[in-house]
Structure 1
Amino acid sequence: MKPIIISVGTLEAVLKMSTSPVDVKQYYPSYVNANSSVSIEQFRSIQESWQTIHSGEYALFKEQTLVSDPVGFWGLQFYDVLFEIEPSLKPLFKNKFQQAKMLTEMINAALNLLPGTFDETLGEERLEIDPKLIPVLQDLAKRHLQYQTKAKHYEPIGLAIVTTFDRMLGARFDNDTKAAWVELWSLICSVMIPAHVEQAQQMEVEP
């Protein structure tokens, strides 16, 4: 039986909110699913992999002694991977430690608004995306233009997220979990890139 689909039609809904005459799909990463849909099982896999990072129960973290926070360690590794994939981004992120902290805090906040976690208010597992996530992601996309972030940067960032998980978790980051994160990044791109492009047009800068 096919899993329940949580986020069908998100891209179309976001595109209707945008007044941009530009086809934003041209800015999407090559691996992104433009009509992303994420099942509850995929959301659970996503949440579980992030909780494994939180627990510190992964070899690369245990093998080092310099960083005591397992989530912070993941964040630092992410930027190492990102600069390996796209060295031109290094000047945009001058304080790797501060950026890692901000990134992991953002991931924590976003995942708390996604299905697959226990909602204390509801007293049960969250099964739908909290609508508050959409404006949060749109605002994040607009603010990152101040740091000279381009729409083309969403491609290496997504690759770096998946690659970092792969290196940190090894065999536990299986193909199904990897596919779930790609679908989630596709969903995030479908929200952030239209907002990014529209804001760039208003600022009269290159998207």
Structure 2
Amino acid sequence: MVSGPLSAAEIKLVQETFALVEPIADDAAALFYGRLFEIDPSTKPLFKGDMTEQGRKLMAVLKTAVSSLEKLDKLVPAVKVMGQRHHAYGVELKHYTSVAEALLWTLQQGLQDAYTPAVEAAWAKTYGTLAEVMMTGAQEPPATRDV
């Protein structure tokens, strides 16, 4: 996975192309999960609820992350906690690679001609950056609140 600081141009590409995916969000989510379960069947048992609702949650999280890329430092704590939660659900580090592959494939299907090498690189770097934070969070003990 590619990660690192995102340039303004990469952020703009990710945000512009996500805006093209939003109108087909439900279909994109269904494509994503179908592809994920196809390439990595070990992920399927991690999802126990309504997959349509799960898809909506996925798209909402993506929307929040994509819209917050300019303020990545403010996004990092929430992404770390998400990594801790995913770890508790049984997500393994190897699953992040499968998710990356399914995400890029889904974007290619949804964006069609708008899916250029630059778009693919920007999304790969964005996902890699966020996944790295989630994987770090997964290795840390959950934060506790002092009452």
- How does the TM-score come out when normalised to structure 1? 0.64
Q: Is 1:157 matched up with 2:99?
A: yes
Partner of 2:30: 76
Query: Do 1:151 and 1:197's aligned partners in 2 also have CA atoms closer than 8 Å?
Result: no
Query: Do 1:141 and 1:196's aligned partners in 2 also have CA atoms closer than 8 Å?
Result: yes
Counterpart CA distance in 2 for 1:199 and 1:73 is 35
Counterpart CA distance in 2 for 1:161 and 1:138 is 20
- Equivalenced residue count is 141
Counterpart CA distance in 1 for 2:105 and 2:132 is 21
Q: Where do 1:62-141 residues align within 5 Å?
A: 70-94=24-48, 95-115=50-70, 129-141=71-83
Counterpart CA distance in 2 for 1:174 and 1:112 is 21
Q: What are the ranges of 5 or more consecutive residues in structure 1 without an aligned counterpart? A: 1-31, 57-69, 116-128, 201-207
Comparing both chains, which one has the higher relative contact order based on Cα–Cα distances under 8 Å and sequence gaps of 6 or more? 2
Partner of 2:88: 146
Which one has the largest radius of gyration? 1
Q: What are the ranges of 5 or more consecutive residues in structure 2 without an aligned counterpart? A: 143-147
Counterpart CA distance in 2 for 1:33 and 1:113 is 19
SS at match of 1:33: coil
Q: Where do 1:39-78 residues align within 5 Å?
A: 39-54=7-22, 56=23, 70-78=24-32
Counterpart CA distance in 1 for 2:130 and 2:74 is 13
Counterpart CA distance in 1 for 2:87 and 2:134 is 11
User: What is the CA distance between 1:189 and its match in structure 2?
Assistant: 2.1
Query: Do 2:15 and 2:67's aligned partners in 1 also have CA atoms closer than 8 Å?
Result: no
Counterpart CA distance in 2 for 1:190 and 1:46 is 18
Identity over aligned pairs, percent: 27
Q: Is 1:174 matched up with 2:116?
A: yes
Q: CA RMSD in A?
A: 1.6
Bigger share in helix: 2
User: What is the CA distance between 1:165 and its match in structure 2?
Assistant: 0.3
